[in-house]
Amino acid sequence: MRKPLEGVRVVDLTHVVAGPVASFTLGDLGAEVIKVEPPYRAAPAVATPPVAGAPDRPHNRVPLFNELNRSKLGIALDLSSGPGRDLLLRLVAVSDVVMENFSSRVLGNLRLEYEDLRAARPDIILVSMPAFGRSGPYRDRTAHGPGIDAMSGLSHLTGYGDGRPGKPGNFFCDYNAGLLAALATMAAVRHRRRTGEGQHVECAMLEGELQILGDALMDVTMNGRVRQPLGNRHPWMAPHGVYPCAGEDRWVALACRSDAEFAALCDVIERPELAHDPRYAALPARYRNQDALDALIGAWTRHRDEYEAMDALQRAGVAAGAVLDVGQLHADPQHVARRFFVPVAHPETGPAPLPRVAFRFARMSAEPERPAPCFAQHTDYVLRELLGMADAEVRELEQSGAVARDPRGSQEEGREVARK
């Protein structure tokens, strides 16, 4: 099936999480993404053990790396060497987009700023993904995704309401920034098609995340009110929360948006009289009496498993969902029916189920098809086919150390390279 970004070539210098999310999204959508790795394979943000396989090349079998780098080709270059840098610029000259999420000084140290790239290709699109932006007092601050959740206000607003801030999921900020960068990249591609102009796009992770906090920020400017965490409660729905189910750490979430839905809930939990009880019948009273109501609902849910409770409530038109743990997701009937996890074969691990973007087109495809590259897997494609190099030139690049076929040295030596 056709993919929407066929014909767009992306040079991907990103690492960790947010950048690779941006570039794999473009790859899933059909762009040819060439991941340029350093001559060692850097650990992904969360070091996970390799999956079982041949004793050598464990770096090709790290599940999180392979999830974040599917839909890409791979080559390993030492950008701090003259020949490595020259080679990158030759690749830029035949590409549409360069993406990077280095800390603030790295591009300058490598002499690979936007102007350097433009000299190689005047209409190149450079997409940078700094934490706070390349200008302003915080431009040199360093932070990871959860640290940006702290600064955006999301940590303050997430919590049980006991005065402690919370952490949303694992890498929320990175995924949000990655998708915004994918969107901005496509916008820049369209701008160039219309005007012939390239550009330097900057996707600061903090600025992308502020968008999801608009209502809390408006409450400050409109009313001087600092919102506090509500736990699982809602500003105007009740009941609203998670309720214990049979088994250990099993829960069902539910929400009543109206008195009618509440009445339906009362029937399901076999307490129809509650729908007429003045403590619960109308929303304002129900909102005040949530603790007591939660106990009544919990008395019903705790004897059922989470799917059974969800199905009974949904049959009555009540918004409810099993609180699934990550081990249950692959077998969830909705995910199975919609193929949310797409099995993609990898030459050294076998097939892995990769989560896809949250949409499917009626005609085109946005599914991941290509596994993550093994280390330096596409060196010959890039050097010979794309750049038309002859054997002698390729050999010379390998001997100079600018191009690596196998990861060189240890992670620690890699850190030294990155620090320079």
Partner 1 sequence: MPDGSALQGVRVVELVEGLAGAYCGKLLAGLGADVLKVEPPSGDSLRRAGPFPEDHPNPEASGLFLHLNPAKRSVTLAIETETGRRLLGRLLDTADVLVHDLAPGRARAIGLDDASLRNERPSLVAAAVTFFGSTGPYADFAGTEIVAQALSGYMSLTGDPDREPLKPYGYLAEYQAGLHAAVAVMAAVLARDATDEGDLADVSVTEAACFALGGPPQLAWWFDRTLKRNGTRLIGVGGRHPYPSTLRPCADGWVHAHSNNRNPELLAALVGDQWLASPEVLDAMTDRADEIDAVVDRWLADKTKWQAVAAAQEMRLPFTEVLTPAELLEDREGHLRSRGELVEVEHPVAGTVTQLGPPVHLGAGAWVSDRAPLLGEHTADVLCGTLGLTHDDLLRLRQAGVV
Residue (197 or 385) nearer to partner 1, CB: 197
* Cβ neighbourhood burial of 333 (10 Å; 0-12, 13-18, 19+): exposed
Q: Which is nearer to partner 1, 205 or 389 (CB)?
A: 205
Q: Does 67 bind partner 1 (CB under 8 A)?
A: yes
Asked if 322 contacts 309 with a C-beta cutoff of 8 angstroms, the reply is yes
Question: CB-wise, 245 or 383, nearer to partner 1?
Answer: 245
Whole-angstrom distance, CA of residue 361 vs CA of residue 187: 19
Catalytic residue among 174, 215, 219, 406: 174
Window 377-406: contact mask with partner 1 (x via CB under 8 A): ------------------------------
Please state the closest distance from residue 393 (CB atom) to partner 1, in A: 34
Q: Which of residues 173-212 bind partner 1 (CB under 8 A)?
A: 174-176, 179-184, 186-191, 193-195, 197-204, 207-208, 210-212
Strand pairing partners for 124?
Answer: none
Catalytic residue list contains 294: no
Phi, psi (rounded to 5 degrees) for 223 = -130, 0
Q: How many whole angstroms separate alpha carbon 406 and alpha carbon 193? A: 38
Residues 6 or more apart whose CB falls under 8 angstroms from that of 190 comprise none
Count of other CB atoms within 10 angstroms of residue 163: 8
Is 54 among the residues that bind partner 1 (CB under 8 A)?
A: no
Please report, as residue ranges, which positions from 225 to 264 form the binding site for partner 1 (by CB under 8 A): 225-227, 229-232, 234-235, 237, 240-242, 244, 249, 251-255, 257, 261
Residues 347-366 interacting with partner 1 (rule: CB under 8 A): 352-364, 366
> Beta strands 251-255 and 319-322: pairing type?
antiparallel
The footprint of partner 1 on residues 22-51 (CB under 8 A) is: 25, 29, 46-49, 51
306-325 binders of partner 1 (CB under 8 A): 314, 317-325
DSSP 42: P
Among 56, 215, 248, 270, binds partner 1 (CB under 8 A): 215
Cα 317-318-319 angle, rounded to 5 deg: 115
Return the active site residues. Answer: 174
